[in-house]
Amino acid sequence: MRQSYSVLKERLPLYLSGDTEEKLLRYLSVVPAVSDNRLKSAACLASSICNQEINNNEIQVVTWKEKPNAGKDIHAQYIYSIQENEMAHTPFEFEEMICDDVLKGDTDALLRHLSGSIPGNLGKLSEDEERQARYMFVTSTAVVSRTAIKGGVHSETAYSLADSYCQKMDSLQSIEQISALMWEMLAGFCEAVKEESSSRNYSLIIKSCCNYISKHLHTRILLSDLAIECGMSERRLSEKFLKETGVHINDFVHSQKLHEARQLLLYSSMDISNIASSLAYSSQSYFTRKYREEYGVTPFEVRSKS
């Protein structure tokens, strides 16, 4: 071992922790330094005892300084293999085009571009297909969430949305489900930018009202509470909300709650009755009726297909 004990003591914490590190350091402190040849001879003896024949030429002693170069060799071989087999990655221009769709909140263009043929090959992040799908989902979510922030979505909203999608992905069991959620995630961020763009002309009072609703979806939201939050009478707030958004406050509240319900139906195992109660609906039958009015299907039909 060429490295001194003091050098090893500095570098071991990068790889070990706790009791394992302390025990190994105590052991190394009493191990004598030996030459490369003696170390190779010891390795040959150990292999012989284990009924495995090797010779000195098959043993390579790697020092700390040689490791980075070995890593570079591996990367160089991988890049050469890609070029030799004409396995070029998906062009950066395609990623920019998708991000531009999200930045503009253009859902139609996004779906059109994703529905066509994707040029090149997606990066190979893992030999395991399911792990590959999960890695691609996380990296895509990270990129798209930052793009949504540039498009005007509040950073905390974008980060929370990204967390939510990744947590949902983590609970899925198949590549098909992960791929479907990938489309959902991309369209979701695109819609978030679109909604933010449409609400930029809202007054501060209506923006405050919408923010209050989005933060209290799991409670019963009363017009009186919104009026107090916005510092207006119930009548004035209702009129102002309708004038600026084009929808009644109660309808807006239900649409936000039902959107949350749809996510839970598709990507969680929560019972329909628990979803209804968690979103503060008075009964499952009332929740079912409102859901059918919004989406044209019942929660049970959605759950049975997912």
Pair 236, 255 in one domain: yes
Pair 213, 159 in one domain: no
pLDDT surpasses 50 at 1:
no
Please report, for the domain that includes residue 213, its CATH number: 1.10.10.60
User: pLDDT for 210-261, tens place per residue?
Assistant: 889 988 999 999 999 999 999 999 999 999 999 998 999 999 999 989 988 8
The answer to whether residue 212 sits within a structural domain is yes
Pair 133, 191 in one domain: yes
Pair 179, 115 in one domain: yes
Contacts of 136 by beta carbon, 8 Å cutoff, 6+ apart = 122, 123, 125, 182
Pair 158, 221 in one domain: no
- pTM, two decimal places: 0.51
Mean pLDDT of 22-40: 69
User: For residue 255, which amino acid is it?
Assistant: S
The answer to whether residue 83 sits within a structural domain is no
pLDDT, residue 59, reads 67
Pair 104, 182 in one domain: yes
Domain range spanning residue 159?
91-198
The answer to whether residue 167 sits within a structural domain is yes
User: pLDDT for 144-167, tens place per residue?
Assistant: 999 999 888 878 778 888 988 998
The answer to whether residue 271 sits within a structural domain is yes
Domain boundary among 183, 198, 213: 198
Q: Give how many domains the chain has, as a whole number.
A: 2
The answer to whether residue 69 sits within a structural domain is no
The span from the CA of 128 to the CA of 174, in Å, is 12
Share of the chain above pLDDT 70, in %: 75
Pair 183, 135 in one domain: yes
Neighbours of 95 (CB within 10 A): 15
Among 305, 304, 275, residue whose Cα is nearest residue 290: 275
Domain boundary among 139, 168, 198: 198
User: pLDDT for 124-150, tens place per residue?
Assistant: 888 899 999 999 999 999 999 999 998
- Higher-pLDDT residue of 262, 300: 300
The answer to whether residue 44 sits within a structural domain is no
The answer to whether 278 touches 270, Cβ cutoff 8 Å, is yes
Pair 168, 150 in one domain: yes
Neighbours of 262 (CB within 10 A): 17
Pair 108, 194 in one domain: yes
The answer to whether residue 130 sits within a structural domain is yes
Burial of 10 (0-12, 13-18, 19+ CB in 10 A): exposed
